[in-house]
Amino acid sequence: MKNRTIIITGAGMGLGYAAAKELASKGANLALVDYNEESLSKVKAELNESFPESKIITVVADVSNEEAVKNYVNQTVKAFGKIDGLYNNAGIEGKQASIIDYDINVFKKVIDINLMGVYYGLRYVIPVMQEHGFGRIVNVASVGGIRGVLNQMPYVASKHAVSGMTKNAALEYGKDGILTNAIAPGAILTPMVAEAFKQVNPDDPKAAETEYAQRNPTRRLGQPQEVAKLVSFLLSEDNGYVSGQTIAIDGGESNIY
Ligand code: NAD
C-alpha cells in the first residue's frame, strides 16, 4: 500500500480504527475522518508512533453533512494529490424499537448518516479517482443489509441501501478503473456492538454477548482486525476484478435458516 492514499471515515474507533492500523502497517498514507475530534487525535498519535513511514492527516467531519464531506475530500487531495481508496465506514445503529414505536427523528438520523453519508462519500471521491483512472471503494453494509434484524428497521433499510448503492457504483464506474464493494459484518466486537448488548440486557450485557455468540457457527464474535484484513485486500491492487459485491464477514452466520 506504499504511496497509496486511503480515506477512512469513522476512523476514531471500532472497524475504522482497526483498518487504519492495518493500512498504516502496510505503509499507506491515510486521511482519517470522524466527528469525534478527541478519538481522531488519539488514533493519529498512536499510528504516528507505531508506523512513522505512513503519512496521516485527520479531518473532523460529520459524514451526513455534504459540505463536511466536500471538505474531507479537498483536504485529502491538498495533502496527498490523489485518492486511491475510500473506506466508507462511518455509521450508527440508532435505537432498538419496533416499527410502530420507532422515533422518527432517530430514523431520519440513521438514514442521514448511514445512507446519505455513504452517498456523499461516493459523490465527491469518485471524480478524484476518475482523474487518476484508479480507485478502490469499500462501503460498510451489515448482515442487516442482507437480512432483517428485529427492532432495527432504519438500520436495515440504510444497510440494504448501501448494498444497492455499491452495485450501482460498480456498474457506473468500473470503466474508470474503480472497483466498489461492500462488506457485511456480522457481530464484531466494537464499541457499537458493546452498546447494543447493553440495550438488549442493561443489567448483564456480557450475558447478552455470550448468548449471541452461541448462535454463530464459530461460537464467537468477530474481531475488528479480522474485518480490517478483508478491507485491506479489497482496497488494494491485489483486488483486480471483484466489484459490486456485498461480502459477508460473519463466521457463516447469515447462512443459518
Ligand atoms: P463504532 O460505534 O464502534 O465506531 C464508529 C465510528 O464512527 C466512531 O468513531 C464514531 O465517532 C464515528 N461516526 C459515527 N457517526 C459518524 C458521522 N456521522 N460522521 C463521522 N463519524 C461518525 O462502530 P463500528 O462497530 O466500528 O461500526 C462501523 C461501521 O460498521 C458502521 O457503519 C456499522 O454500521 C458497521 N457494522 C458494524 C458491525 C459490528 O459488528 N461492529 C456489524 C455490521 C456493520
All domains in the chain, ordered by first residue: 5-186+223-249 (3.40.50.720), 187-221 (no CATH)
9 CA to centre of ligand 1 in angstroms: 9
Residues 6+ away with beta carbon under 8 Å from 47: 20, 21, 24, 30, 54, 56
Bridge-based pairing of strands 29-34 and 246-249 is unpaired
DSSP assignment, residue 137?
E
Q: Cβ-count burial of 174 within 10 angstroms (0-12 exposed, 13-18 middle, 19+ buried)?
A: middle
Encoded amino acid at 103, one letter: D
3-state secondary structure of 30: strand
**What is the average pLDDT across 100-104?**
98
How large is the ipTM? Answer: 0.99
Give the chain's radius of gyration (CA, Å).
Answer: 17
Residue 257 has a pLDDT of 84
- Beta carbon of 64 within 6 Å of any ligand 1 atom: yes
Q: Cβ-count burial of 34 within 10 angstroms (0-12 exposed, 13-18 middle, 19+ buried)?
A: buried
Q: Is 155 a catalytic residue?
A: yes
- Beta carbon of 91 within 6 Å of any ligand 1 atom: yes
Under the banding of pLDDT at 50, 70 and 90, the label for residue 27 is: very high
**What is the average pLDDT across 26-36?**
98
Residues written for the chain: 257
| pLDDT reading at 196 higher than 90 | no
175 CA to centre of ligand 1 in angstroms: 30
192 CA to centre of ligand 1 in angstroms: 6
- CA angle 192–57–91, rounded 5-degree value: 20
Choosing from 9, 15, 158 the residue with most ligand 1 atoms within 8 A of its CB, the one to mutate for a pocket test is 15
83 CA to centre of ligand 1 in angstroms: 22
Atom of ligand 1 nearest to the CA of 39: 9
**What is the average pLDDT across 154-161?**
98
- Beta carbon of 63 within 6 Å of any ligand 1 atom: yes
| pLDDT reading at 107 higher than 90 | yes
